[in-house]
Amino acid sequence: MFRTHTCGELRIGNAGQAVTLAGWVQRNREMGGLTFIDLRDRYGITQLVFNMEINSDLCRDARELGREFVIRVRGKVAERFNKNPKIPTGEIEILVEELIVLNPSKIPPFTIEDHTDGGEELRMKYRYLDLRRNENRKNLFLRHQMAIETRNYLNFKDFIEIETPYLIKSTPEGARDFVVPSRMNEGQFYALPQSPQTFKQLLMIAGYDRYYQIVRCFRDEDLRADRQPEFTQIDCEMAFVTRDDVLNTFEGLAKHLFISVLNVEVSDFPRMPYQEAMKLYGSDKPDIRFGMTLHELNHLLQNKGFKIFDDAGLVVGIKAEGCGDYSRKQLEELTDFVKRPQVGATGLAYIKYTTDGAIKSSVDKFYTPENLKLVLDEMGAKPADLILILAGNTDKIRSAMGDLRLEMGKRLDLINPVEFKPLWVIDFPLLEWDEETRRFYAKHHPFTSPKPEDISLLETDPDAVRANAYDLVINGTEIGGGSIRIHNKELQQKMFRVLGFTEEEATNQFGFLMNAFEYGAPPHGGIAFGFDRWVTLFGGGDSIRDFIAFPKNNAGRDVMIDSPSVISEEQLKELGISPSTK
């Protein structure tokens, strides 16, 4: 027998018992005639003791054990003289009678400790060692627990988990496809799914009216901290539902996860139209843990002779309370912030309402003190408050102000890191115009239904059409998104036309779905959640990589298995692909 107990299990009540444990050597230290070893497995750490006076051979063997050796010991549980209240097994130790080395270990390239000395690259290369660390173990356990609770909730609600294929055909969801050459169909390729979107719709047509799947999706995009080329979705679809049925069902899922995993009770999620989110927060994923909403100032600051404001589509301000005495240096820092290319404003104007009631502004050449006072009054500013103002192209400036708002929220410590404020953002625009290619793209995906009252605008005023689409946003992070779908062939064809598909292209790519719509497609809708992101949010992490067992690095590489890699000429030949001439 390898073990009678795990390394996290024994307590004072076990004192006197004979036990066998197996695990990894975490630490090995000598104190006088005693040798202490911390033995680790995924359940915890148990202290082993070897006594020179009782068994000198055994004690000498123990002193030879290096870090990460795998051993098995047999011995007796004893109450510890020096108790360690920090660990659950801290009241006992094992007086070892037999030691067997199951496998020695090379000296690991970094310490397997909470504060390891290993850099990211090294830890990724030896990910199996990195995964022995507490933090990673906790993260993967959290992930496992969230998957279980997701399944518990959805199973209870009559959803069934159905697997959909990974080798499919390209679906345009806004990213590039990963493709897989087919050996049996030379010159042809499968695509890996960006999501199971069309399959889950086909399942609705097939009558499985509540589907889910915790499923891997693949998108060949440039990577960022919260993106991976393969990532996991909780993918869901329901038939015979309205938008509100979908929102209520999945608000229930979110609340269930909050309570069962974090023991946090959250109140009902507000539902905010996209337009309102953009106007008030400058973002379609607003962090509503703090206020400081955007205030439009066109009516107060335009037509007073200041050309920059006069030419702007939008003049917008936020009020930073208690910042009315900001120094020039502090204001310059904020100006530098808004001028960063990621933020994209050209300058920052301000009105300082100082503690002693003076009004100082970067634009006082153009405005009378009365003009400026009107702005302060309308924004409810008090002495010691600061108004920050941006002006320019409406969409650009809104989002720049959204960034500045978040920055000020951070600087002023207005964001409570342990609070959760979820909301639904609803009524997204159906389409997005792309200046470069001069065509419309589906903001969500081409299967999203317009709001019924907006369908008539589809061909006359496409910009104005709202989608029956929604996102779940928690603390400024988009956790999921979905929509009520089109389930009628004519409307789907019309949608493809608006998106610039020829009849032939639409039929080639999506004929299977449109044909299926002709065989009794029920009204349906659904949602998908970014599982990695959700786990990361619950775990309080910054990067989804820390919550994925074997993630890829910034260049999309797995540095442990060294992939992607070249394949042999024979393999290429077999696939009918000519070797690169590079």
Task: Summarize as ranges the residues that interact with ligand ASP (CB under 6 A).
Answer: 195, 197, 445, 481-483, 526-528
- Distances in Å between the Cα of 534 and the Cα atoms of 87, 232, 481, 539 are 29, 10, 13, 9
Closest contact distance (angstroms) between CB of 465 and ligand ASP is 17
Contacts of 56 (CB under 8 A, 6+ apart): none
Nearer to ligand ASP, 24 or 447 (CB): 447
What does the longest C-alpha to C-alpha distance in the chain come to? 94
User: Smallest distance, Å, CB 253 to ligand ASP?
Assistant: 14
- Between 211 and 367, CB nearer to ligand ASP: 211
Shortest reach from residue 366's CB to ligand ASP, in Å = 46
Between 14 and 233, name the residue whose CB sits nearer to ligand ASP: 233
**Nearest approach, Cβ of 481 to ligand ASP (angstroms)?**
5
Task: Name the minimum Å distance from CB 235 to ligand ASP.
Answer: 7
Q: Which helix or strand (DSSP H or E) is residue 346 part of?
A: none
CB nearer to ligand ASP: give 357 or 522: 522
- DSSP secondary structure, 529-561, as one string: EEHHHHHHHHHT-S-GGGGSSS---TTS-BTTT
* Contact in structure between 94 and 101 (CB atoms under 8 Å): no
Tell me how far, at minimum, the Cβ of 173 lies from ligand ASP, in Å.
6
The distance of closest approach from Cβ of residue 554 to ligand ASP in the complex, given in angstroms and rounded to an integer, is 23
Query: Smallest Cα–Cα separation from 67: which of 135, 140, 129, 158?
Result: 129
Q: How many angstroms separate the CA atoms of 543 and 388, rounded?
A: 31
Query: Which C-beta is closer to ligand ASP: that of 483 or that of 536?
Result: 483
Closest approach of ligand ASP to the CB of residue 334, in Å? 35
Using alpha carbons, select from 501, 481, 365 the residue that is nearest to residue 428: 481
Q: Which element (helix H / strand E) includes 68?
A: none
Q: Is the CB of 164 or the CB of 493 nearer to ligand ASP? A: 164
Cis, peptide link before residue 172, omega less than 30° from 0: no
Min dist CB 288 to ligand ASP, Å, is: 22
**Residue of 92, 123, 104, 193 lying closest to 553 (CA atoms):** 123
**Pairing, β 160-161 against β 210-218:** parallel
In three-state form (DSSP H/G/I as H, E/B as E, the rest C), the secondary structure along 301-340 is: HCCCCCHHHHCCCEEEEEEECCCCCCCHHHHHHHHHHHHC
Residue 391's DSSP bridge partners are 315
| Calpha distance 59→51 (Å, rounded) | 6
**Tell me, what DSSP letter sits at residue 260?**
I
Nearest CB to ligand ASP, comparing residues 392 and 481: 481
CB-closest chain residue to ligand ASP: 195
Residue 162 CB, shortest distance to ligand ASP, in Å, is: 15
Question: Which of 429, 511, 423, 415 has the alpha carbon at shortest distance from 462?
Answer: 429
Residue 40 or residue 285: which is nearer to ligand ASP going by CB?
A: 285
Judged by beta carbon, residue 127 or residue 216, the one nearer ligand ASP is: 216
Rank residues 429 and 526 by Cβ distance to ligand ASP and give the closer one.
526
Rounded to 5°, the CA angle 117-122-126 comes to 110
Shortest distance in whole angstroms from residue 485 CB to ligand ASP: 8
> Which residue's structure tokens are 């290096």?
66
- Run of H or E residues at 377: helix 369-378
- CB-wise, 229 or 482, nearer to ligand ASP? 482
